[in-house]
Structure formats: C-alpha cells, structure tokens
Structure 1
Amino acid sequence: MTLTDMMNIGLMQGFAGLSLFSVLLLMGLGLAIIFGQMGVINMAHGEFMTIGAYTIYLFSHLAEAYAPKLVQAYFPFAIAAAFLFAFAVGWAVEWLVIRHLYRRPLDTLLATWGLSLAMQQIFRSTFGAKEVSPTLPDWLMGSWAPAEGLDIPINGLFVMGLTLLVTAGVLIALYKSRWGLRVRATVANRVMANATGINTRQTDRLTFAIGCGIAGVAGAAFTTIGSTGPTSGSLYIVDAFLVVTFGGAASLFGTVVSAFGIAQTQSISEFFMTGSMAKVLTLSAIVVILMFRPQGLFAVKVRR
C-alpha cells in the first residue's frame, strides 16, 4: 500500500467522521438549546430525531405510491416537514408535561425517560419493529472523486451542507432575533426578564419546541447514512449529551467543537480497532478531560 493510498484512506475515514459529526452536531444543537439554555434533561430527545427520520420515510413512501415523478424532489420538503412535525410534538410535550417540572431536573429526567419508552412503542406499533429506509433521490446517490482513489459520498456532502445551514440559522436566531434576545434574557435572569415584560413561559415553550424541531432535522440527515427503527434515536442520546456536556452546557460554539472532536476521534479510532474499543477510547478521553475541566471546554457564566 502506497503513501497516497494511506492518505486517501485516512481522508475518507476522516470524512466518515464528518458525517457522524453532522448528525451529532444537529442532535447536540437541539439538546444545547433545551438542556444548556433551559436546564431540562430531555431523555426523549432521541425520539424527536426518530420522528424526523420516519417523516422522511413517510414522504418517500407517499411519493413512490402516489406521485412517482416527485421522488426526485420530495427530500427538501420532507426535511422541512420533519422540523415542523418534531416542533409540533415538542410544543405539545412542553405544554402537557415539561412546564410542570421546571427546576426539578430529576423529575424531568424520569418523565422524559418514560415519554421516550412510550414514543418507541408508538413507533413500533405504527411502523413495525423492523428498520426501514426511504428511497433517496438519485442526486443524493453516488460519490465525488476529487482525486484518483479518493471517493467522497454525495449524501455526506449534502448532510454537511444541511448542518452548516442549520447551525448558522440557530446562531443568527439566538443572537440577532427577538426570540434569541428573550432566551438570553431569560437564561441570564428569569425574574428580571419577567419584570421587563418578557413572557418567559412562552419563551420556554418555543425554545423547547425549536430544540425538538432541530432534532427532527437531525433525523432527516440520519436517513441518508443509516436505516431507521423504533430505537434509532436512543442510540444517539448518550453521544448527544456527551457533546453538550463536554463542550459546555450553555455554549453553542462548544457544542460544535465537541461534536467535531468526538466524531473524528471515534471515526479514526474505528479504522485501527473495533467499534466498541473506539467508543471506550473516546469516552475515556472525555472523562479524563472533564476531570480537569468539569465545566466543559467552553463554559458560559450565567446568573440563575
């Protein structure tokens, strides 16, 4: 094996890490908004990702069955629908459950864990226990070969582009919109925010729903690299919490850096060892770093 071959393999493995980074970042962004900004431990966050993934599958099935000509065009609309469906379910969950449990982290953990199990059973009853995959448009298939021996999947490039778009949108919304101003004011000092006329309950509900909607987009991205089952989202929830905790609970920039570091470490390690050992190595590195910096890589000081 030549040096060029080794470099190409390393680059392709690194790009595989970027695909994992994209899904982790989208999951982490939604969780950073819910956990980092609101202090709610949402153990059902993975199931909102599954809602997005099943939305893509449903749109694919409907397009194939009733409008075959739309198979090549349905995907962008399905992504928007994945956000809206997850957003709507998140809004309802906040109104029915979460709003009664603020400042009670253990109760939110138990309640959302129960919600996670209930949602998994709903998925199992609705779509079956077997994993399903949507029919992707032709323009998402194949690979791009910038050099001989180096093949980069087009669906990975699309997921990265989608992730960059969503990340930029979240950052702009958080620091340039009225919603973002209300969120930052509520996080900094809830009592003072109420005193200035900000409806913090409505801000909480909208923030929770947006975080769930972003998880839905993560599910849409996930369908391009894997199949979807009732428990698909739960496989990512631990990694998503690691991303948020390691980066700093209230730092979106920390979430980006943390997702990149975890995904690349795990992907490159899997080339030299088994997947389980790569996971152990990644977790061990995170634990060691958190021992020296328990507040995360980029801690944000806020008043509670």
Structure 2
Amino acid sequence: MTEMILTLFNGISLGSILLLIALGLAITFGLMNVINMAHGELIMVGAYITYLVQNIFMQYAPEKYFDLYFILSIPLALIVAAGVGVLLEVSLIRHLYKRPLDSLLATWGVGLILQQLARTIFGAPNVGVQSPSFLNGGLELGSITFPYSRIFILLLSLICLACIFYYFYRTASGRRVRAVMQNRQMAECLGVSTRKVDMLTFAIGSGLAGVAGCALTLLGAIGPTIGTSYIIDAFMVVVVGGVGALFGAVAGAFGIGIFNTIFEFLTNATLGKVLIFILIIAFLQWRPSGIVINRSRSLD
C-alpha cells in the first residue's frame, strides 16, 4: 500500500511539473498554432533568473532574508521570460504566422542561439540553486514522506492554471484573445487589435515557461539544456489533451505523469518511456483530436 501511494504521488508530482511546463505551450501552440521550439529555452531563462537572484541575495542580503529570494524569483522569472517572448514575437514569430514549418525551424534556431548565449554567460557546466529553508524536508504521514518541494510545485501549477482560467474566461482582455483564436477575421471586423492580442498571448505563454523554469530549480541542478529534456513531453501533453484546450492539458499532464510513473515502477525508466509513447500513439489513433475537442469555425 505504501508503494502504491508513493507511486501515485510521484505520478501526480510529475504531472504537475508537466502541467506547469505545458501551460505556456498550450497557449502558444494550442491557441496560436505556433510551434515554438524555443519554449524549452524560455524555461531555461526562468531557471537562470532564479540562479542570479539567489547569488545577489547571497552577496548583498542579510542571511535571515535569504529565503525571500525564491519568492522574488517567481514574478521576476515571469516578467523576464515574457519580455524575451515579446521580443521573439515582434522580431520573428509575427512574420511566420500560418507558416508552421518555417516557424518551427526559426524557433529551433533561436533556441540554439539562446543555449549558446547561456553557455557563454554562465558556462557549460550545470549550476546549483539552493532551495529555501521552508521547502526543505517533507510532510510525514506515517511511514510516508511527501517532499515539500513537490507539493509546492503542485500548488504552483494549480495557481497558474486558476489564473489563466480567470484571465481567459472572466476578463474582457481574455475574451478578446479567445475571439481572435476562434475567428480572427470576425474579431478584426469588430475592432479587435489582433496584433496586440498576438503579442500579449505569446508573452503570457512565455512568462509561464519562465515560472516553470523557476520551479525546476527545486528538483536539481540547472544548465543550458534544462528545457530540452522536457519539451517533447510538453508537446505530448498539449496534443493528448486537445489543441487549444486548457483543461485537456490538465488531463493530459496528469494522465501522462501517472501512467509514466506506473510503467517505470513496473519495468524501468527506459522501457517505461517506450510504453508511454506506445500508449499515446494508440490513444491518438482512437481519438486524434485529443481528450477535449474544441468546436469552432476556425478549426473546421
């Protein structure tokens, strides 16, 4: 029973990590139909921002205030990653809408440039980020210990999801975004500035990638390729959940996380990854549109 509970918790924990990474991708790829292969490098930006803030607090802040560095890093990583996303959208992505292959190749090249830039500034070896003291240890329930860092990532992913839901479905700006994604020509006829909506939406998706990078520093060392190992899984979450469906991304993230953990527990890490790919391929053969199907004229 203990092993079953731990396996389920590890699956939920992995699902929350995938959800936090895939939320930004669900916006840029699912809602904007832009294949952003530099999404992993935006995660890297958030991770290195956390590393820089940590070093600043180590050098200049009193020791008793050190734990505040992580709280400050979350909004700062969001802002900086969103700024990089806006710069990317204005200078490159804007000219490649409705050209998915060109945008894929261009953003892949941008990703390589950002990786090399990170190696030039911070060096090729991985660097460590010290977790704040309030996230050390874990919650003990009997003989089972649930790490505080994993619980924090789960709560952070749910908070980000709630904020995105509120923005898209409860604000006028969010309704304009959904209107543009469903029928761009009609939204333009009604006076919606689609250029501003595109830039804002890409900034939100990029900012969420920065928050994901900040959270990943709790799990281990970071390096220039930290986002590369997660980008394929993030795309799988979006495709399985349904393109353009936020709650589909939630179901896809936790489903992939739980099944992946179960397969790895029953076999090993390599074979478990193979089995989850086979399961996803079989699922998409049966339901090619994903878990949640969006009905709109633009998709038709």
* Interval of TM-score (by shorter of Structure 1 and Structure 2): over 0.9
User: For 1:146 and 1:192, how far apart are their aligned partners in 2?
Assistant: 55
Mapping of 1:41-80 within 5 angstroms? 41-67=35-61, 68-80=63-75
Q: Name the residue aligned to 2:224.
A: 230
User: For 1:56 and 1:50, how far apart are their aligned partners in 2?
Assistant: 10
1:270, CA displacement in angstroms? 1.5
Mapping of 1:41-190 within 5 angstroms? 41-67=35-61, 68-147=63-142, 149-190=143-184
Amino acid at match of 1:194: E
User: For 1:101 and 1:227, how far apart are their aligned partners in 2?
Assistant: 35
User: For 1:214 and 1:153, how far apart are their aligned partners in 2?
Assistant: 23
2:33 to 14, 35, 39: 39
SS at match of 2:109: helix
1:272, CA displacement in angstroms? 2.1
Tell me if the contact between 1:53 and 1:222 (Cα under 8 Å) persists in the aligned partners: yes
Q: Name the residue aligned to 1:295.
A: 289
Tell me if the contact between 2:53 and 2:69 (Cα under 8 Å) persists in the aligned partners: yes
Deviations 1:159-205 (A, max 9, x none): 11111111000011010112211111101211110111100011001
Tell me if the contact between 1:52 and 1:217 (Cα under 8 Å) persists in the aligned partners: yes
1:10, CA displacement in angstroms? 2.0
Number of aligned positions between the proteins: 297
Amino acid at match of 2:72: F
TM-score by length of 1: 0.96
1:56, CA displacement in angstroms? 1.0
User: For 2:153 and 2:196, how far apart are their aligned partners in 1?
Assistant: 32
User: For 2:296 and 2:43, how far apart are their aligned partners in 1?
Assistant: 29
1:276, CA displacement in angstroms? 1.0
RMSD (CA atoms): 1.0
Tell me if the contact between 2:129 and 2:220 (Cα under 8 Å) persists in the aligned partners: no
1:262 to 249, 252, 256: 256
Tell me if the contact between 1:173 and 1:180 (Cα under 8 Å) persists in the aligned partners: yes
Amino acid at match of 2:131: L
User: For 1:62 and 1:70, how far apart are their aligned partners in 2?
Assistant: 12
SS at match of 1:229: coil
Q: Name the residue aligned to 2:242.
A: 248
Amino acid at match of 1:64: M
1:30, CA displacement in angstroms? 0.5
SS at match of 2:140: strand
Amino acid at match of 1:117: L
Q: Name the residue aligned to 2:205.
A: 211
Deviations 1:29-86 (A, max 9, x none): 1111111111000001011111111111111111112213321212111011010110
Q: Name the residue aligned to 1:3.
A: none
User: For 1:9 and 1:75, how far apart are their aligned partners in 2?
Assistant: 32
TM-score by length of 2: 0.97
User: For 1:9 and 1:226, how far apart are their aligned partners in 2?
Assistant: 24
